[in-house]
Amino acid sequence: EARRRAGFDWDDGRFPGECSDAAHIRVWGPRAPLPATDAPPLAGEAVPGEASRFGALALRLWGPLFDAEQGSW
C-alpha cells in the first residue's frame, strides 16, 4: 500500500509528480521510475519483516516515532 501511494506522488498524472522536479530529473533522469521501492535493503539497512529497501528505510525513519506514540493517547 505504501509503495502504491508513493507512486501516486512520484508519477506524473493530472499534475506533475515528484519525478518532474528538476532535482529529481538531474539525479534520476527524465521519467524515471520511483527509486528503490522493490530493491532489497543494503547491508546494515535490514529491518525484520521488511523485504524491500523502501520499507526498511521507512521503518527506520518512522519506527521510533510510532514506538514513542504507543502510550501517549
pLDDT in tens, 17-61: 888 999 988 988 888 888 767 789 999 999 998 898 888 988 999
**pLDDT value of position 45:** 92
**pLDDT value of position 71:** 65
**pLDDT value of position 17:** 87
What is the mean predicted confidence (pLDDT) over 63-68?
Answer: 88
CA distances from 56 to 15, 41, 51 (A): 29, 7, 7
Instruction: Identify the burial level of 9 via C-beta atoms within 10 angstroms of its C-beta, where 0-12 means exposed, 13-18 middle and 19 or more buried.
Output: exposed
**pLDDT value of position 15:** 87
